[in-house]
Amino acid sequence: MSNRKLSVIDLNSSKKNEVIDITGEVQEFIQKNGVNNGVCFIYVPHT
């Protein structure tokens, strides 16, 4: 059975190449939605 959840995190970077830690935002989403098991996919489009 598929029970998908979706969230969008919009970020702006100040450098051409930059690493931004989104661990807290992802953990908050998982906890808020009661996810106990599964896979978390994070898609980062290059613009």
Q: How confident is the model at residue 31 (pLDDT cuts 50, 70, 90)?
A: very high
pLDDT of 1 > 70? The answer is: no
Six token digits for residue 14: 């100040």
**What average pLDDT score do residues 11-37 get?**
91
Q: What is the pTM of this model?
A: 0.73
Is the per-residue pLDDT at 21 higher than 70?
A: yes
Percent of the chain with pLDDT over 70: 96
Long-range contacts of 1-8 (CB under 8 A, 24+ apart): 5/29, 5/33, 5/35
Quote the pLDDT of residue 5: 85
